[in-house]
């Protein structure tokens, strides 16, 4: 699994780590307990690049503020301080705490500072609840020796298990997003979700409806960007989360999603999954709402779905101009990747055809021989019909029926001057 997750890493993981270790050192020198905590410890133990480094300490936010030149207190009541060390991203430093009640099932109402052990117990999964003293580890080869494990996280890492910390039912009831986090970690790492944890996820799956679409969208984006995306989708379906997320359960096989190339971006993956669920007739609007997609994301996904539909249908009938136009569209590359996952031999034919077309004079998307300015120069009054004439002229250019300015002008003249479509003819010059 060495490479899994590597693409999620920050630009310079070594720098991020050294900043976090500097923070730990400063806190320890001032007499505090300070440790790397959570996801970064898990990832380091697995030989993966952490996306970020978090520090946990017994120092209170005010004390942290006094030790560092530049700090920002993010929601002082959550007890988290961002410490900036020189340039680069800040390191999140959180005072050991237990979470208060979860009356809205999302965020604890309050935090109370607490012991190191209680801080481990408030975390979601055992593999996410480990601490590591990076300074103790500096001159010792056995990194495991300096891991502080209150919840059996090391054993679960070895056994490749996602297990809720404490009573699974309670932990899933407190925060329904944990269900999706469990799936994301299980898929990313190739782990099994432990039996009681899986049962609790199933039990509370319906309540995902109450989680904000931003948070759900964020998790889905991360899962679908990862090479193990099909496993994540399969778990979502198996654990009963498909309807709460997308509005309904639809019987489907993950054909395209599972065959997509590992490095495919989120938009391709979601388009593939939507096509697996609903075929080419799928509407993007419900997904847009459910996952809080941006305008760009939904446009890209809608375009892929539409183009895949054309590739598996009208492609042959498009003719040279139509095929060239389609091949130059923004979503074409993604569509071809998804179509490849659907029907690789047909996709290979499309790819071959596009290579052929790219080889023609001017290629797939040559500069138009004429535009509105030339039509005006020719003496025509601008009007809404300009667009359709220019489109016809450009089609002729793409088809190879015309290849120079003269040809373009004379075709435009013919189209505009025919006078049989209610279009104004040439004015006198």
Nearer to ligand ATP, 113 or 385 (CB): 113
Q: Which does 57 bind (CB under 5 to 8 A by kind): ligand ATP, Mg ion, none?
A: none
What does the per-residue mask of binding to Mg ion show for 26-65, with x meaning CB under 5 A?
-------------x------------x-------------
CB 123 to ligand ATP: min, Å: 3
- Helix ranges (H only) for 3-144 are 13-29, 39-45, 61-67, 116-121, 134-138
CB 297 to ligand ATP: min, Å: 20
**H-run or E-run covering 185:** helix 177-189
Q: How far is CA 115 from CA 62, 121, 154, 246, in A?
A: 17, 10, 20, 40
Nearer to Mg ion, 83 or 307 (CB): 83
Adjacent-strand bridge partners of 271: none
- Vertex 376: Cα angle to 372 and 381 (nearest 5): 105
| SS3 (DSSP) at 162 | strand
Query: Could you identify the residue written with the tokens 């952490």?
Result: 50
Size of the site for Mg ion (CB under 5 A): 2
Other CB atoms within 10 A of residue 243 CB? 15
What's the CA gap between 110 and 411, in Å, rounded?
Answer: 74
CB 44 to Mg ion: min, Å: 12
Q: Which does 124 bind (CB under 5 to 8 A by kind): ligand ATP, Mg ion, none?
A: ligand ATP
Q: What are phi and psi of 94, to 5 degrees?
A: -120, 135
Q: Which does 177 bind (CB under 5 to 8 A by kind): Mg ion, ligand ATP, none?
A: ligand ATP
DSSP 32: -
CB 51 to ligand ATP: min, Å: 4
CB 110 to ligand ATP: min, Å: 15
- What is the end-to-end Cα distance of the chain in Å, rounded? 74
Q: Which does 224 bind (CB under 5 to 8 A by kind): Mg ion, ligand ATP, none?
A: none
Contact 404, 356 (CB under 8 A): no
DSSP 366: P
Q: Which residue is nearest to ligand ATP (CB)?
A: 39
What's the CA gap between 249 and 272, in Å, rounded?
Answer: 17
Residues in touch with ligand ATP (CB under 6 A) = 38-39, 51-52, 54, 123-124, 128-129, 175, 177-178
Contact 318, 284 (CB under 8 A): no
CB 196 to Mg ion: min, Å: 25
CA 3 to chain centre: 18
Q: Which does 303 bind (CB under 5 to 8 A by kind): Mg ion, ligand ATP, none?
A: none
Q: Which does 312 bind (CB under 5 to 8 A by kind): ligand ATP, Mg ion, none?
A: none
Pairing mode of beta strands 91-95, 54-57: parallel
| SS3 (DSSP) at 299 | helix
Pairing mode of beta strands 70-74, 97-99: unpaired
Q: Which does 175 bind (CB under 5 to 8 A by kind): Mg ion, ligand ATP, none?
A: ligand ATP
CB 117 to ligand ATP: min, Å: 14
Q: Which does 178 bind (CB under 5 to 8 A by kind): ligand ATP, Mg ion, none?
A: ligand ATP
Nearer to ligand ATP, 92 or 276 (CB): 92
Nearer to ligand ATP, 130 or 300 (CB): 130
Q: Which residue is nearest to Mg ion (CB)?
A: 39
Find, among 303, 345, 347, the residue nearest to 328 by Cα: 303
Nearer to Mg ion, 39 or 334 (CB): 39
Nearer to ligand ATP, 34 or 129 (CB): 129
CB 177 to ligand ATP: min, Å: 5
Binding site for Mg ion (CB under 5 A): 39, 52
């Amino acid at each position: 699994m060495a490479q899994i997750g590597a693409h999620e890493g920050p630009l310079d993981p070594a720098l991020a780590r050294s900043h976090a270790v500097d923070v730990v050192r400063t806190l320890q020198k001032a007499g505090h307990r300070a440790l790397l905590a959570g996801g970064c410890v898990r990832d380091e133990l697995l030989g993966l690049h952490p996306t970020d480094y978090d520090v946990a300490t017994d120092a209170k936010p005010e004390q942290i503020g006094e030790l560092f030149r530049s700090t920002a207190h993010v929601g002082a009541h959550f007890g988290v301080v961002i410490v900036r060390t020189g340039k680069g991203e800040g390191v999140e430093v959180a005072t050991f705490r237990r979470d208060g009640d979860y009356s809205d099932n999302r965020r604890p109402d309050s935090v109370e500072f607490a012991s190191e052990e209680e801080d481990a117990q408030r975390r979601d999964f055992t593999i996410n609840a480990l601490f590591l003293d990076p300074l103790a580890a500096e001159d010792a080869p056995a990194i495991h020796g300096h891991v502080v494990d209150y919840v059996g996280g090391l054993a679960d890492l070895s056994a490749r298990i996602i297990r809720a910390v404490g009573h699974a039912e309670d932990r899933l009831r407190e925060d329904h997003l944990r269900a999706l986090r469990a799936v994301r970690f299980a898929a990313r790492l190739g782990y099994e979700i432990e039996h009681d944890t899986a049962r609790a996820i199933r039990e509370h799956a319906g309540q995902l409806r109450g989680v904000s679409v931003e948070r759900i969208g964020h998790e889905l984006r991360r899962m679908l960007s990862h090479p193990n995306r099909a496993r994540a989708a399969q778990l979502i379906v198996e654990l009963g989360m498909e309807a709460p997320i997308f509005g309904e359960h639809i019987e489907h096989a993950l054909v395209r999603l599972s065959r997509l190339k590992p490095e495919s971006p989120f938009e391709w993956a979601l388009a593939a999954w939507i096509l697996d669920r609903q075929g080419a007739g799928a509407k993007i609007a419900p997904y847009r709402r459910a996952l809080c997609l941006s305008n760009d994301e939904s446009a890209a996904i809608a375009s892929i779905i539409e183009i895949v539909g054309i590739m598996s249908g009208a492609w042959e009938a498009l003719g040279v101009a139509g095929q060239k136009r389609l091949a130059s569209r923004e979503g074409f590359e993604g569509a071809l990747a998804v179509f490849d996952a659907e029907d690789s031999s047909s996709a290979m034919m499309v790819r071959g055809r596009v290579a052929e077309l790219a080889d023609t004079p001017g290629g797939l998307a040559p500069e138009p021989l004429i535009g509105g300015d030339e039509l005006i120069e020719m003496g025509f009054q601008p009007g809404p019909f300009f667009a359709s004439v220019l489109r016809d002229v450009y089609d002729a250019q793409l088809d190879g029926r015309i290849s120079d300015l003269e040809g373009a002008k004379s075709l435009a003249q013919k189209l505009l001057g025919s006078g049989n479509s209610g279009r104004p003819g040439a004015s006198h010059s």
